[in-house]
Amino acid sequence: MDESWTRLSELFEAARGLPADQREAWVRSHSADARVSAEILALLQTYEEDPAFLEGRVPADVAGAALAAVSQPIEGRRLGRYRLVREVGRGGMGVVYEAEHTDAEFSRRVAIKLVPSGWSASSLVARFRYERRVLARLDHPGIARLLDADTTDEGTPYFVMEFVDGQPIDVWCRERALTIRQRIELILRVSEAVDHAHRNLVVHRDLKAANILIAPDGQPKLLDFGIAKMLSDEADLSGGLTAAGQAAFTPSYASPEQIRGEGVTTASDVYSLGVLLYLLLTERLPYEIAGLSPFDAMRTVCDTEPPTPSAVAPLAWRPTLQGDIDNVLLKALRKDPRERYPSVRAMADDLVAWRDGHPVSASRATLWYRARKFAVRRKAQAAAAAAVALALVAGGAATAWQAHVAGIERDKAESRFRQVRQFSRSLLFELHDSIRGLPGSTPARQLLLSRAVQFLDGLANDAGGDQALKLELAEGYRKLGQVQGSSFSENLGDTTGAVASFEKAARLGEDVLAREPRSVAAAILLTGAYDDLTNTLVSRGDVDAADRADRLHRAVVEQLERTNAKDAVVQASLASSYSNLAYFRGVRRDWPEAKALYTRSISLHEALPPAQRALGNTIRSYAFALKRLGAILVSEGNLEDGERRYQAALAVDEQIVALHPDSATYRYDMTFSLTDLAVVAKRRRDFARAESLWNRALAIREAALAADPKNTRAIDGVANIRVYLGDLYLTTRRFPQAVSELRDNLRLRDQLVTIRGPLPQPIRARASAQLNLAQALLDSAEAERPGGRRAALVSEAGRWLTLAETVARKAAADSSPGASNLLTLVQQQAARLGRLGGRP
């Protein structure tokens, strides 16, 4: 097509505003390409028949009638032998109710679908009757069965189906953390139901996750044949119902030919099934069209190639999807229906071939490919056969028998290898991730990860050439290190163990990248491992080592940006990396560079496709960058821009929490937006708002600490808010409250030193807590009249200042960052102490 979609859209919109009898002549006079003219005229015709043809909506007058009809109480009404219990769903073709069928012998739940009385005069009644005819010819355990059909006393048709008390297939897979193989097995069962419909000459035309429920026993049930088409029905093919039904699809799952209003065949169901499998194996749709205009949605589905599944899937799944599964999905999603699988059965056959280790038709059938498949599938048998042949040539039947036995043992060993690997991956990527957001899960997560890493470590020693296994192990070490002692995760304060784990992860990633220099997965893993290592070394006070890790991090980021900058997954990784690199610049007090990197990170995040930006780790990184840039702006005195960044970050945090209400991790993330906004409020001298925000954050952190008392991140977080509140109460001259908050802060700092050991950072943090408490005690003393109480406050302040000064002088002698400032503050309070008659 010579003219762009933009031009086509402009012509369509202009023609739509003309009288119907003038449109054709106008279109042909304004388009030089006959194909463009024909496309616009076809769209105009479809628009006339259904103005919402690309948005999946029922026309407003019909929808209004439906709402009016169902606004009347209907629960409890009897339809023949059935009593309606409750409404369970509705769509463009009817309303579905749960109902009871009771008689003298048995009772059971059923689903009843009917057209509300307000629709009785519409053409939808004809389509409703048509759906009933479709269901009557289908009998398969994977399709919700038709049980009965009748009309109400008012003449409204309804039919009765088996009631499926299940979950949509994507929710089922996600909540049970199913493996790739389990998800494919589920799609194979769905394919059997779709294939049954096709063999009965029925095309579903609206296959999507919401229309496939999984019953409690794991049986998929295909629902909603409301826009199905019987290929044998000439009346349907010639118009009438088809014209009304073609528009009522779900754009995210619809094939290009459906979008264009062309003839629909079984190939359209192949395409939609491919979209569904893509969603299950990558946890995202191949196209993100939500919020797009109709023409942009058309262009995306009809012209844009979907990303390769292994490039956008969760990191741990990518090695499994690379190759055959990529090829299967991309073949199912071909734009031209003639290039797709000829049937759902053919697509299922390829999935079965992959499962069983056979060649897949969607992959290029080279001699090497087939040989490799045979070798993988028959590795043990081939090795045993070779050993037997060698033994026979040598002339020893006994040796041949020994080789046969060796082959059996080797087969057993390989089976055990696969089982241990699968079990380890289950611990690492499924069970661990499913409990990560639960309160109090940190010790359990450490135990799980320790076991998984032990198993994978043992396997890796025997699988030197398995790069995918090395990446699994590296990711395991990263997760273990985060639980051991990462300040950006719920952790147990073991920073020594964390550094060791992050270093192992980095070495494994470096090894894979050295062997496979173009491996995006290895490069992305390395950026995370280097960042984890950098931050943990900073928390241990080893800034020089942190600087070396940071330089390695930046080198990998630059390599990724040079070689894969257009890849959406790489873009998301770069956005996170620039935020992480900026954080270390802040540690080094390089504020201009930190500000520039945070700005770059935010720009990259905001340029990501919506589906990519919405992923958990990516959106968390985006919120973090907004907060840290806000902090720099506030420190520069730009309260207005800083507060705007914080408000944007809080909106993102609240969105994530709303989507994951049970996640303690996401709720904790939100507290940083709240505390930073409180800092801004305090600077504006809006003390009431500052106190409210800090107390809101404190409640979340205290809940996290109560649920997980060994979580050092929560201990540190609660302590920090105690300092904020203590300073606020000093500012507002509420001295008893200030002293109480700062005593709690010191208690928590003592606890952190006990857990983490005598490391510089927790020792200095405790000294700062001693200094803060001493200052509050001296402020309280100055507010008292001379006498007993003042003397006691001054005496206690002296004890804390003595302890703080010892640490400050040692840190200053070691040239530790910030030590001179700490010593200066201690000396200032010591001078106050002397003026009040005390002695340090």
Residue 467: predicted pLDDT: 79
Give me the residue label for tokens 């405790």: 766
Residue 102's CATH number: 3.30.200.20
Domain boundary among 393, 414, 433: 433
- Among 308, 295, 312, 423, residue whose Cα is nearest residue 16: 295
In a domain, 665, yes or no: no
* Domain match, 94 and 126 both: yes
In a domain, 370, yes or no: no
In a domain, 338, yes or no: yes
* Domain match, 109 and 232 both: no
Q: State which H helix or E strand residue 258 sits in.
A: helix 256-259
- The answer to whether 433 touches 179, Cβ cutoff 8 Å, is no
* Domain match, 156 and 296 both: no
- Partnered with residue 97 across adjacent β-strands are 87, 112
In a domain, 503, yes or no: no
In a domain, 197, yes or no: yes
**Domain limits for position 148:** 80-162
* Domain match, 193 and 133 both: no
Number of domains in the chain: 5
- Partnered with residue 78 across adjacent β-strands are 83
In a domain, 408, yes or no: yes
Beta-carbon contacts of 32 under 8 Å, excluding residues fewer than 6 positions away, are 2, 3
3-state secondary structure of 98: strand
Task: Look at the pTM and tell me if it is higher than 0.75.
Answer: no
C-beta neighbour count of 76 within 10 angstroms: 9
Domain boundary among 162, 186, 220: 162
3-state secondary structure of 590: coil
* Domain match, 281 and 332 both: yes
**How far is residue 132's CA from residue 128's CA, in Å, rounded to a whole number?**
7
- The answer to whether 689 touches 681, Cβ cutoff 8 Å, is yes
Beta-carbon contacts of 584 under 8 Å, excluding residues fewer than 6 positions away, are 534, 535, 538, 546, 550
* Domain match, 199 and 92 both: no
User: What is the tens place of the pLDDT at every residue in 106-164?
Assistant: 667 888 877 655 444 444 455 555 555 666 667 788 888 767 767 777 777 777 888 88
3-class secondary structure per residue, 713-751: HHHHHHHHHHHHHHHHHHHCCCHHHHHHHHHHHHHHHHH
**How far is residue 475's CA from residue 506's CA, in Å, rounded to a whole number?**
10
Residue 674: predicted pLDDT: 95
In a domain, 489, yes or no: no
* Domain match, 92 and 180 both: no
Residue 592: predicted pLDDT: 93
* Domain match, 281 and 395 both: no
Residues of the chain under the 50 pLDDT cut? 1-4, 49-73, 118-124, 226-228, 230-248, 365-410, 412-414, 416-417, 420-421, 423-424
Domain boundary among 141, 162, 183: 162
* Domain match, 388 and 267 both: no
Burial class (CB in 10 A: 0-12, 13-18, 19+), 1: exposed
Residue 243's CATH number: 1.10.510.10
- The answer to whether 136 touches 110, Cβ cutoff 8 Å, is no
In a domain, 742, yes or no: no
Residues taking part in catalysis: 206
Residue 276: predicted pLDDT: 94
* Domain match, 325 and 340 both: yes
Give the single-character DSSP code of 589.
T
* Domain match, 154 and 174 both: no
Give me the residue label for tokens 């209003």: 261
Q: State which H helix or E strand residue 109 sits in.
A: strand 107-114
Give the single-character DSSP code of 219.
-
Residue 786's CATH number: 1.20.58
* Domain match, 201 and 307 both: yes
Report how far Cα 263 is from the mean position of its chain's Cα atoms.
36
Q: Report DSSP letters for 268-303, one per residue.
A: HHHHHHHHHHHHHHHSS-S---TT--HHHHHHHHHH
Phi, psi dihedral angles at 500 (to 5 degrees):
-60, -40
